C-alpha cells in the first residue's frame, strides 16, 4: 500500500498588519487546516511579509505556530524589500535555503530565488544553489522529486540560469514544481513536469480566497484549489491522471482502472461514478490515506467523478482520464507558462492570469 504525498499550499500572504483582511484570512485558513488530518505539510511560497519587516514575520510566525502540520516557507521578492533576508530567518527560525526533505518516499527540494539577487523580481539562484540542485536531482536514486520555488525557472535572471534550471527539471525526476508569485491559480504541463501556482492570499485579483491541495501518487500529479468558504469534506482524485496532467505513456488507462481519492475532512459516504452512471461505493483500508476502487473502464467512457458526503455537506471532484498514450502534451517552452492549461473551473483555474506576471496590476 503506497501512501501519496499530499500537502496544502497557501498562496503569497503579503502580510502587512494585524488588522488587515489578509491577516484574518490567513488565520481562518490555519484554523481550517487544523481541523483535519490527511496532509503531510503546509507550503508557503514566499512574499510572506509585504515589506520584509520583523513585525510582519511575527504575524506569520503566530499563525504558523497554530498548525500541527510541518511547515515549509520559502522566500519571495517582497521578503527582500529590506535589502536582505535577515528578518525572514530571524522571524521564522526555519532552516537555511536551499534544503531537502524526504516525505512519503518523495524528495522535496526548497529553493531561494531571491537571496542571491539584488531585491525585487531580480530572481537568481546563484552558482552554488544551481550546483546543489543539479546534485540533488542526479542523486535522487529513482525517487520522484517535487521542487518548491517562488516562480517559474524562466523568470531567473542569472547568466544562463533560466535555461539551465529548466533543462535540469525537464530531463530529471521532477514531477511537480510548486510556485507563488503569479497571484493567480495556474497549471502548466510541459510533457514531463507539472508546474503549479496558487492564488495569492494577500493580493487577490481573481476569485475568492482559499488554498490549494496537491498530491503526488505514484508519479501522478493532482491539484485542486479549495475556497476558504466551502466546508469540509474536500475531494481530490489522486489516480489515475487526468489527461491534462498526464506526462507519461503509463498514465494512459486500459480496460481496468485503479481509482484513488483523497478525502480531507469528515465523510460518512464516498462514491464514484463513470460519466452519468450510477454512484458506487468506495472504501478505505485501515491505515490507508485514500479511498479506492478497482473498476472496469467501458469503451467510449470519458469521465470519473468522486463525491464525499459528511456532516450535511458534500464535495466532488472529476477527471477525464488519459486514454491515448500517443496524445500526451508536448512543450511549447519548458520552464515557463508557455504550457499553461486553459480555464478549468473544477480545479479553480479561471484562465484570466490576473496578476503581476501577465494581465493584472503591477503590485
Per the CB < 8 A criterion, the answer to whether 352 and 206 are in contact is yes
Kindly tell me if the per-residue pLDDT of 162 is higher than 80.
Answer: yes
Average pLDDT over residues 26-42: 97
**Cell (9 digits) for 61:** 510566525
- Residue 337: how many CA atoms within 13 Å on its side-chain side? 20
pLDDT digits (tens, 9 = 90+) for 180-198: 999 999 999 999 999 999 9
pLDDT (0 to 100) of residue 196: 98
pTM for this prediction: 0.97
Average pLDDT over residues 145-164: 98
Predicted confidence band of residue 1 (pLDDT cuts 50, 70, 90):
low
Kindly tell me if the per-residue pLDDT of 89 is higher than 80.
Answer: yes
Per the CB < 8 A criterion, the answer to whether 133 and 109 are in contact is yes
- 98 or 359, greater pLDDT: 98
Q: Lowest mean pLDDT: which of 246-250, 254-258, 351-355?
A: 351-355
Average pLDDT value for the chain: 96
**Cell (9 digits) for 312:** 450535511
pLDDT (0 to 100) of residue 278: 97
pLDDT digits (tens, 9 = 90+) for 116-151: 999 999 999 999 999 999 999 999 998 999 999 999
Cα 128 from Cα 133, distance rounded (Å): 9
pLDDT (0 to 100) of residue 200: 96
Q: Is 119 helix (H, G, I), strand (E, B) or coil?
A: coil
Cα 317 from Cα 261, distance rounded (Å): 9
pLDDT (0 to 100) of residue 361: 79
Q: Is 62 helix (H, G, I), strand (E, B) or coil?
A: helix
Average pLDDT over residues 39-65: 97
Kindly tell me if the per-residue pLDDT of 11 is higher than 70.
Answer: yes
- Kindly report the three-state secondary structure assignment for every residue of 6-61: EEEECCCCCECCCCCHHHHHHHHHHHHHCCCCCCCEEEECCCCECCCCHHHHHHHH
pLDDT (0 to 100) of residue 173: 97
Predicted confidence band of residue 304 (pLDDT cuts 50, 70, 90):
very high
Kindly tell me if the per-residue pLDDT of 360 is higher than 90.
Answer: no
Predicted confidence band of residue 208 (pLDDT cuts 50, 70, 90):
very high
The full length of the chain comes to 363
Please give the domain boundaries of the chain with CATH numbers for all domains. Answer: 5-232 (3.60.21.10)
pLDDT (0 to 100) of residue 356: 81
- Kindly report the three-state secondary structure assignment for every residue of 143-194: CCEEEECCCCHHHCCCCCHHHHHHHHHHHCCEEEEEECCCCCCEEEECCCCE
Amino acid at each position: 500500500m503506497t501512501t501519496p504525498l499530499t500537502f496544502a499550499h497557501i498562496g503569497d500572504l503579503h502580510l502587512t498588519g494585524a488588522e488587515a483582511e489578509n491577516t484574518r484570512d490567513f488565520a481562518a485558513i490555519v484554523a481550517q487546516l487544523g481541523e483535519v488530518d490527511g496532509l503531510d505539510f503546509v507550503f508557503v511560497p514566499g512574499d510572506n511579509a509585504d515589506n520584509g519587516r520583523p513585525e510582519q514575520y511575527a504575524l506569520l510566525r503566530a499563525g504558523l505556530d497554530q498548525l500541527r502540520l510541518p511547515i515549509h516557507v520559502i522566500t519571495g521578492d517582497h521578503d527582500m524589500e529590506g535589502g536582505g533576508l535577515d528578518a525572514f530567518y530571524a522571524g521564522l527560525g526555519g532552516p537555511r535555503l536551499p534544503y531537502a526533505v524526504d516525505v512519503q518516499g518523495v524528495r522535496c527540494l526548497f529553493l531561494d530565488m531571491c537571496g542571491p539577487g539584488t531585491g525585487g523580481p531580480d530572481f537568481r539562484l546563484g552558482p552554488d544553489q544551481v550546483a546543489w540542485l543539479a546534485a540533488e536531482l542526479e542523486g535522487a536514486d529513482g525517487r520522484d522529486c517535487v521542487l518548491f520555488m517562488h516562480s517559474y525557472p524562466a523568470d531567473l535572471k542569472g547568466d544562463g540560469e533560466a535555461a539551465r534550471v529548466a533543462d535540469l527539471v525537464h530531463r530529471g525526476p521532477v514531477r511537480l514544481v510548486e510556485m507563488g508569485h503569479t497571484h493567480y491559480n495556474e497549471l502548466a504541463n510541459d510533457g514531463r513536469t507539472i508546474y503549479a501556482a496558487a492564488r495569492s492570499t494577500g493580493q487577490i485579483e481573481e476569485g475568492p480566497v482559499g488554498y490549494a491541495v496537491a498530491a503526488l501518487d505514484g508519479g501522478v500529479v493532482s491539484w485542486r484549489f479549495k475556497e476558504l468558504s466551502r466546508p469540509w469534506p474536500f475531494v481530490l482524485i489522486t489516480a489515475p491522471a487526468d489527461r491534462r496532467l498526464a506526462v507519461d505513456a503509463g498514465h494512459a488507462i486500459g480496460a481496468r482502472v485503479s481509482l484513488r481519492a483523497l478525502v480531507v475532512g469528515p465523510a460518512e459516504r464516498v462514491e464514484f461514478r463513470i460519466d452519468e452512471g450510477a454512484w458506487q461505493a468506495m472504501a478505505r483500508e485501515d491505515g490507508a490515506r485514500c479511498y479506492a476502487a478497482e473498476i472496469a473502464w467501458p469503451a467510449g467512457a470519458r469521465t470519473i467523478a468522486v463525491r464525499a458526503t459528511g456532516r450535511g455537506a458534500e464535495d466532488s471532484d472529476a477527471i477525464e482520464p488519459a486514454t491515448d498514450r500517443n496524445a500526451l502534451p508536448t512543450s511549447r517552452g519548458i520552464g515557463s507558462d508557455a504550457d499553461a492549461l486553459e480555464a478549468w473551473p473544477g480545479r479553480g483555474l479561471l484562465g484570466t492570469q490576473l496578476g503581476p506576471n501577465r494581465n493584472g496590476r503591477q503590485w
